[in-house]
Structure 1
Amino acid sequence: MTSFEPKISIVINNYNYEKYIGVAIQSALDQTYENVEIIVVDDGSTDGSIEIIKGYSNIKAIFKKNGGQVSAINEGFSIATGELIIFLDSDDYLFANACCEVVRKYTKAHSMISYKLQLCNEQGFLRDEFLPSIDLLESNHLDFIIKYGYFQTAPMSGAAYSAKFLANHLPFDTSRCGWIDHLLTFTAPIYGEISSVNYALGAYRIGHSSLSEHAKISLNKLRKNLLASDLYAEKISESLASEKNILIKKNKILGPYHWKERYISFVVDNENHPFVDDSRLMLAYNCIVKFMLWPQIGFTKKIKNILQISTMVVLSREKIILAVGKMTNINLKA
């Protein structure tokens, strides 16, 4: 248990979530840890969110034009005064003990405290499912990043970052696409220590009957995600070089599912594929090697994915398109 009580800033970013924003704010207000400030950034909502936010007098509120989640995070960070910062999505909520449990792990050497999130439905009722589904990594985060470029973690609401660490990345350039939570999480071990809480300290809301249904994406969204992951890999590579004098190309950092989805993008619609230097054989090679080496994928899944990738090498484009719907979460019709 730490002998000090660092201030925690809970920054809630919101856009048109009038159904949930009150729950998120109340969960921040209900923290059993006392040294907390609550900042709500509304990113140009057009529903009833603004009126709900204005109903709370004991928070800091920012109302801005719509600019996207990264711009909202930049705004919240600019006025946050906490030593630790939690970026809470407005459709998620924290459990009352979240900040207490974070502080139990925290020292000034930390850049991040990571914790699990429990899935809940649209009404907020908790399910017996968690993100991630496996245990969070307890140690050797930097070694894992250097070797694999990635480790299992919860989405944005599942981490508390030190403000000192965040200053290395924020404000982030909003003209560049990016999964800001991945960028922050996977560079955090380069700048400081990481600790994990291997149980849920908050809830992650999904609106479908299952997580697999919730995860279905269009080809257009998949390509945006591919560009985003390419960006965070670039940032990891740059941070390793500048902070640790370790030179690793970004392609080595990218994980197996990135390469699999990138391969599908290339094959099904090469004309609009966003990576001009890709080739079919290069993508297949990276897929197979990454799945073979990846430690957080079970043997059965490794074999299944390697067989799928190997099959796609010899199938025609038309047959791959027919197979994609069965093999992946990509909806080519959306």
Structure 2
Amino acid sequence: MHNPFISVVINNYNYADYVGAAIESVLAQTCGDVECIVVDDGSTDESRAVIGRYDGIKPVFKTNGGQLSAVRAGFEQALGEIVIFLDSDDSLYPKACSEIAAAWRPGLSLLQFGLDKKDNAGKPLGTYPNGPFIKSDHIGFLLRYGYIPSSPMSGNAFSRNYLAELFAMPAPDERMAADGYLIYCAPVFGEVAALERALGCYRVHGGNTSPSAIVSPQTLQRQLLNDIKFRERLAQTLERRGFAPDRPLNYLGPYDFRTILLLNRGYRNDSSVRHIGCGFALVQAIRKFLTYPDIPLAKRVRNVAGVLAIAALPPAFVRRLLPEQTLGSSEAWSSR
């Protein structure tokens, strides 16, 4: 029986405190057919010294270019027919690659799996994804909602063939976050399957760049612009592959439209999305909070009330919902 070779690509930027644990988790895999590639994207802390302590890895040191550029650089060095992009503050459990190899089958572009959320002390904080993986009709779900339920980047194993096709296309922005782009495009190129158990750990800490850690106008806008860019590419990819996508803007999620309202109501003069009408954003946010899957009823009601308040409150009150900061250039927000 063929045992697929797996490449684990760790992408790192200024996470010297965590990257060692990520590397050790890959080196500890019980499956022998695994390689560890560590891409440092121009860190200015002690990351490169930490990476240099380990034998049995492929280090890639590059100038800072953003997460998408880092995963592309790692992929260029990867030999595996399965590729996992592990964020440097996360880790894999010892049998993760063995279970992924056992579940892999021809025709897959993506195999999803769960992640346990833990803080720096190892305290459990729940699991990813927030809702169940879907079992079938991933394309139908994607065409309707502009996403598929998933774990963050570290909870996904990709087909080499799929990645080669995707990376052959022009990237929307090398500095954009890579997870949504890689995960949501996957159903367009092949089948998607899932393992309904956690195979790794997602570390929750103050430096995370996930939406749950976003608290300032700058980071809110950076995440929003990232979402807009990759949904534009998603729509183009769907159309190129023979599907009939919705407008890219309509693929933004409810929290994206809430962000548009926050920026345009509270920081309109500095907002890069002021061309999107507040009325349109309000209607879309309400509709999506009411219809998106896996949002509990009480949370739906709170979010609808919240966006109505944002739309009605004076700008000075809206700004109190976020730290009072002056927005800089959109180019600066897009960089790491």
Match of 2:129 in 1: 132
| Matches of 2:323 and 2:211, distance apart in 1 | 11
Match of 1:331 in 2: 323
| Matches of 2:60 and 2:318, distance apart in 1 | 48
**Deviation at residue 41 of structure 1 after TM alignment:** 1.2
- Conservation of the 8 A alpha-carbon contact between 2:114 and 2:200: yes
**Deviation at residue 54 of structure 1 after TM alignment:** 2.3
- Conservation of the 8 A alpha-carbon contact between 1:70 and 1:174: no
| Matches of 1:159 and 1:90, distance apart in 2 | 14
Q: What TM-score does the superposition give when structure 1 sets the normalisation length?
A: 0.90
Match of 1:146 in 2: 143
Pairs within 5 Å for 1:1-334: 3-123=1-121, 125-170=122-167, 173=171, 175-207=173-205, 215-322=213-320, 324=321, 330-333=322-325
Summarize deviations over 1:67-96 as a string: whole Å, max 9, x none: 222222121111111101001111111001
| Matches of 1:257 and 1:91, distance apart in 2 | 25
AA aligned opposite 1:129:
G
Q: 1:331 to 1:116 in 2, by over 3 A?
A: farther
Q: How many residues align?
A: 325
Helix, strand or coil for the counterpart of 2:283?
A: helix
Q: 1:217 to 1:98 in 2, by over 3 A?
A: same
Helix, strand or coil for the counterpart of 1:86?
A: strand
Q: 1:193 to 1:145 in 2, by over 3 A?
A: same
**Deviation at residue 229 of structure 1 after TM alignment:** 0.4
Q: What TM-score does the superposition give when structure 2 sets the normalisation length?
A: 0.89
The list of structure 1 runs, each at least 4 consecutive aligned residues, that deviate by more than 3 angstroms after superposition, is: 171-177, 210-214, 330-334
Helix, strand or coil for the counterpart of 1:37?
A: strand
- Conservation of the 8 A alpha-carbon contact between 2:261 and 2:310: no
Q: 1:211 to 1:130 in 2, by over 3 A?
A: farther
| Matches of 1:137 and 1:211, distance apart in 2 | 25
**Deviation at residue 132 of structure 1 after TM alignment:** 2.0
Which deviates more, 40-49 or 100-109? 40-49
| Matches of 1:14 and 1:36, distance apart in 2 | 19
| Matches of 1:99 and 1:147, distance apart in 2 | 32
- Conservation of the 8 A alpha-carbon contact between 2:282 and 2:311: yes
Match of 2:331 in 1: none
Q: 1:121 to 1:227 in 2, by over 3 A?
A: same
| Matches of 1:119 and 1:137, distance apart in 2 | 21
AA aligned opposite 1:181:
D
Summarize deviations over 1:265-300 as a string: whole Å, max 9, x none: 111011111124211211111111212221221222
Q: 1:197 to 1:332 in 2, by over 3 A?
A: farther
Q: 1:77 to 1:211 in 2, by over 3 A?
A: closer
- Conservation of the 8 A alpha-carbon contact between 1:287 and 1:309: yes
| Matches of 2:39 and 2:59, distance apart in 1 | 6
| Matches of 2:79 and 2:211, distance apart in 1 | 39
AA aligned opposite 1:159:
N
- Conservation of the 8 A alpha-carbon contact between 2:25 and 2:92: yes
* Structure 1 unaligned regions, length at least 5: 325-329
**Deviation at residue 137 of structure 1 after TM alignment:** 2.2
* Structure 2 unaligned regions, length at least 5: 327-336
| Matches of 1:211 and 1:168, distance apart in 2 | 27
| Matches of 1:175 and 1:132, distance apart in 2 | 26
